[in-house]
Structure 1
Amino acid sequence: MSDLSTVVEKPVDDLHTGWTGRVVGYVAILILVNVMVDSVLASPTFVLPELSKAFHTSQFAWIGSSAMLAGAMWAPLLGKSADINGKRKVLIVTLLVACLGGLVCLVAPNLGVFVAGRVLQGAAVAALFLTVALIRDICAPKFAMVVTGIVTCGSAVFGIVTPFVLEFALGIFGWRVVFVVSAAFAALATVFVRVVLPETRDRSPGRVDVTGALVLGAGLAGVLVYISLGQVFGWLGVVPLLVLVTGLAALNFWLFVLSRTPEPVIDIRGISVALGLGLLVVVMGTGAYQSMLQLFSLLIEVSPDDGLGYGIAAPAALGLLFGIPSIGIVLGGILAGAFATRIGPAWTLAAGVVTGVAATLIMLVAGAANLPLAVVSSFMLSLTAGSLLTSGFNLASILAPPERQGTVSSMVMVMVAIGSVTMNFIGSAILGANRITVDGETVNSSFGVHAYIAVAGAVFVLATVPTVFLVRRMRGHVVTGAPVSHI
């Protein structure tokens, strides 16, 4: 079936086509849900040293990605369940599981229990794509694109003040306050979603292939865990290789056996070329962005006066590099949503990729040792992040029927998780392989830092290839009514 089509259809009467008090209330609640997601994924990174001491481990950095790893495992199951049982109902279950995970982390007596809590918190990752799927049930297609940009990126506004608030709270209550906050946000969001949001209008008949979802999730988690553990325990270590082999075996079993059942958790045979290209752009673009974000946190710890060829440490560096980008994410998401109604999400996705290429080029040329240029690059990358996330969800939403929004949106979230985890640890491996000793201290080399940036930039450049094909394939696709299924 062709991916090029124009549909003119009168929107369903009960879909909102503009801003009303009720829509503003819905959007506020969905943003609250995504603030909870941010508290699960980002806030623990502020207390990694404290967590390392509390659980007596020196290999704790990978725990920062544990919830995202678990999110990749949760997403297919929850996406399919949402299409069949109702998006609001599944979102409530997701929020309750994330709340339980926060409480488990809060009282965890040892590392094993803490990791189990983070796995439960990983369900919060599904909450993000479920908010997008709900938007399609509430708003008409064109208006939904604008609302998607606001909901997916609006929570970044809280990222401006979060570091300062957490710094104050940590000084008083310690690291456990992070999980008190995430559990409280999850509980509060559960109440508002249950009381205010309407139930799903579109559902698909069928059953949830729980076995297939678990096998697929286990396979994804196994491969991603290997990527995250390989640098710590050795790429050829017994445990990492065992995890990798198990993950690959699970993926192959799902691909050649379980995906061919009448109702697979994800029907990969029915994914259109356009959606496949969009998912490829998302996995590459978000991965490159996340790896650059990780690098900024390393650069602000090094002074340019050390003569290493990189370093942007300064009194205001933390706020400039992590506060201003929060504004950029919001702006990028809102602009992508607004322009998508005129030119289509494929073009806004392309704009995000091009911006990412330019931002990494600035860092490669001089930004690694120049704070003002690094701030410019960071802001541009935040625009990229907002644009990619919003455009990815918008593209998926117009290429799927209403009753498949949960499943297709979950694919986008899986791509985000895979890209983020993979590129973060590839970047860490590059730095680890190029460390040098200066005055008796082991530090990252200038070559390693610039190779790190070059790899991220190369991934952005590679992402332009599927982007070009996507734009050409979507040429002439106009969203003027109900979405058209290409799945």
Structure 2
Amino acid sequence: MRRTRRTRQTGGLPGPSKTRSAPLVPVLAFAGITVAVMQTLLVPVIKDLPVLLGTAPADATWVMTAALLAGAVATPIMGRLGDLYGKRRMLLASLAVMVAGSLVCASTDDLVVMVTGRALQGFAMGAIPLGIGIMRDELPRERLGSAMGLMSSSIGVGGGLALPAAALVAQHADWHALFLGSAGLGLLAMALTYAFVPEPPLRAPGSFDVVGALGLSLGLVLLLLPLTKGGDWGWSSATTLGLLAASVVTLVLWGLFELRVPAPLVDLRTTARREVLLTNLASIMVGVAFYAVSLVLPQLLQLPASTGYGLGQSMVVAGLCVAPLGLTMMFVAPLYARISARHGPKATLMLGMLVIAVGYGAGLGLLSAAWQTVLIAVVLGAGIGLAYSSLPALIIGAVDPSETGAANGLNTLMRSIGTSVSSAVIGMVLADTSVTTGSVQTPSMEGFRISFLIATGAVLIGLVLAAFLPARRPPAHPVLLASGADARPSPPPVLRAPAESAGRTVRHDGSPSTGP
């Protein structure tokens, strides 16, 4: 096997040693968990937001919507900026924006200011694809699988762990303390990143596509806004339908523009490859399945027992019952690495989705006691963890190293679209099947079960999509660096980067080539 040398632009030295890269994985995972906490930070106080902010319930939902929209916009943009100007640099910038947003929220009771701060917090979601890209560039092959799995799962880990912690803080302190805590986590993540995460030398050719970024941002806002607010506006209202139509037109025009520029924000030709396209579509289905359990179990646990099916638990206990979802996702990362090393990420993705389907299927009959919800959370956490861990490996195996950040940013965006669709559909189901308890409308057991069936259907669609992914077995032997240390898996054939129009390609080691 031909030996390859991976060198840094600054000194021509081999890649990092195992000793130097040892703290990199926990530091990046902590950064990912920190930004993911923003998704569920306010869940324990969401019903009180109208009173806390002195506004109408429909307006208070903008506090959650702003973070979602900003996160969706940030993931592909920050990924591309990382490919161009440095992933570590953009990771630190993402965390700094999150800290600023947290401090803004901690200092206000005004709705507009709060929404602004929440948008800044949500913008930090771009840190997760940046972390995956750094791992690809810096880690030896034997550590890459489990590391990427942990980083990819940090979305669920942070969300799951934040629920009980935020509930505990909200019950015993002023709610602004939630934002002070998130600012502290962000500062700690920045300090650890600055100290222990190196700046990978690989850079993508070209410049930042400003017009493409603005077009994608507009299209995503026009798409996600009616998905998140359609329940308030009415799904057949002129506003909802008009925004959805405008999103389709905007995204089509954006796609046509991206196909014509030499250095696009998103390389749609790469995205159209079967492996990338099917992986992104399957990611939407996994996102739908992941968010369903987050919507159903906390409500079921906190409904009063007088309803006949509610479990009557406190906010803190409900959070603790759901927390195993995130913990299990974190603990299956090493298991994913072993399964994927033997059978490939496609098999691991399919196994994960099968486990999710089993978890939701069993959940249809296991909703009558708190311990049963814990069991459901554990099974679903294992399945979602395996599925989420497989996604970056599938994407990375299909794109050029110089496109890692942007490609994983787009994949993270697909998961966000899945959670948005899940929120809209399941929210509508729970509203339409609600029952009157006294003078209050509460979700019904029928609605919870229908929600589980929807999640099961989504993951089965994802399973079919995954079955059509090309089978790729990992290499039998590692590629050797000049020093003899293990490196990453053998790269795919040379893929054309955005600089193709300039008559060159970029190889796996980052060196330009004028050959075919």
In the alignment, what sits opposite 1:349? 349
* Paired letter, 2:235: W
In the alignment, what sits opposite 2:35? 37
**How many residues of Structure 1 are paired with residues of Structure 2 in the alignment?**
474
1:350 deviates by 0.8
* Paired letter, 1:406: G
1:69·1:421 contact (CA, 8 Å) conserved in 2? no
Kindly indicate whether residue 480 of structure 2 is the aligned counterpart of residue 483 of structure 1.
no
1:50·1:175 contact (CA, 8 Å) conserved in 2? no
1:275 deviates by 1.5
1:127 deviates by 0.5
1:302·1:311 contact (CA, 8 Å) conserved in 2? yes
1:376 deviates by 1.9
1:468 deviates by 1.0
In the alignment, what sits opposite 1:3? none
Is 144-153 or 402-411 further displaced after alignment?
Answer: 144-153
Look up the SS of the partner of 1:403 in the other structure: helix
* Paired letter, 1:385: I
**Higher relative helix content:** 1
* Paired letter, 1:373: Q
1:427 deviates by 0.2
In the alignment, what sits opposite 1:406? 405
In the alignment, what sits opposite 2:508? none
Q: In structure 2, do the counterparts of structure 1 residues 245 and 162 end up closer, same or farther at CA, with 3 Å as the change threshold? A: closer
Is 449-458 or 105-114 further displaced after alignment?
Answer: 105-114
Is 442-451 or 338-347 further displaced after alignment?
Answer: 442-451
Q: In structure 2, do the counterparts of structure 1 residues 348 and 395 end up closer, same or farther at CA, with 3 Å as the change threshold? A: same
Look up the SS of the partner of 1:265 in the other structure: coil
Kindly indicate whether residue 19 of structure 2 is the aligned counterpart of residue 49 of structure 1.
no
1:68 deviates by 2.6
> How many angstroms apart in 2 are the aligned matches of 1:320 and 1:226?
32
Look up the SS of the partner of 1:262 in the other structure: coil
Q: In structure 2, do the counterparts of structure 1 residues 324 and 258 end up closer, same or farther at CA, with 3 Å as the change threshold? A: closer
Look up the SS of the partner of 1:311 in the other structure: coil
Look up the SS of the partner of 1:367 in the other structure: coil
TM-score normalised per structure 1? 0.89
* Paired letter, 2:208: V
Q: What RMSD, in angstroms, separates the aligned Cα atoms of the two structures?
A: 2.6
> How many angstroms apart in 1 are the aligned matches of 2:266 and 2:473?
28
1:8 deviates by 7.7
> How many angstroms apart in 2 are the aligned matches of 1:9 and 1:341?
22
Q: In structure 2, do the counterparts of structure 1 residues 53 and 327 end up closer, same or farther at CA, with 3 Å as the change threshold? A: same
1:161 deviates by 6.5
In the alignment, what sits opposite 1:285? 286
Unaligned runs of 5+ in 2: 8-13, 479-488, 497-516
In the alignment, what sits opposite 1:362? 362
Look up the SS of the partner of 2:435 in the other structure: strand
* Paired letter, 1:209: D
Is 108-117 or 72-81 further displaced after alignment?
Answer: 108-117
In the alignment, what sits opposite 1:466? 465
Is 68-77 or 224-233 further displaced after alignment?
Answer: 68-77
Is 351-360 or 232-241 further displaced after alignment?
Answer: 232-241
Look up the SS of the partner of 2:332 in the other structure: helix
What does residue range 211-250 of structure 1 map to in structure 2 within 5 Å?
Answer: 211-250=211-250
The alignment-based identity, stated in percent, is 24
In the alignment, what sits opposite 2:198? 198
2:36·2:154 contact (CA, 8 Å) conserved in 1? no
1:163 deviates by 4.8
Q: In structure 2, do the counterparts of structure 1 residues 129 and 157 end up closer, same or farther at CA, with 3 Å as the change threshold? A: closer
Q: In structure 2, do the counterparts of structure 1 residues 112 and 245 end up closer, same or farther at CA, with 3 Å as the change threshold? A: farther
Kindly indicate whether residue 322 of structure 2 is the aligned counterpart of residue 322 of structure 1.
yes
Q: In structure 2, do the counterparts of structure 1 residues 168 and 331 end up closer, same or farther at CA, with 3 Å as the change threshold? A: closer
In the alignment, what sits opposite 2:295? 294
Look up the SS of the partner of 1:206 in the other structure: coil
1:83·1:404 contact (CA, 8 Å) conserved in 2? yes
Look up the SS of the partner of 2:255 in the other structure: helix
> How many angstroms apart in 1 are the aligned matches of 2:319 and 2:423?
22
1:273 deviates by 0.4
In the alignment, what sits opposite 2:427? 428
Is 354-363 or 46-55 further displaced after alignment?
Answer: 46-55
2:33·2:157 contact (CA, 8 Å) conserved in 1? no
TM-score normalised per structure 2? 0.84
1:87·1:130 contact (CA, 8 Å) conserved in 2? yes
What does residue range 266-281 of structure 1 map to in structure 2 within 5 Å?
Answer: 266-271=266-271, 272-281=273-282
In the alignment, what sits opposite 1:4? none
1:207·1:263 contact (CA, 8 Å) conserved in 2? yes
1:10·1:482 contact (CA, 8 Å) conserved in 2? no
* Paired letter, 2:431: G
Look up the SS of the partner of 1:243 in the other structure: helix
After superposition, give the CA deviation of every residue in 1:112-159 in whole Å (9 maximum; x if it has no partner).
222122222222110011111100111134421122223444687777
Look up the SS of the partner of 1:442 in the other structure: strand
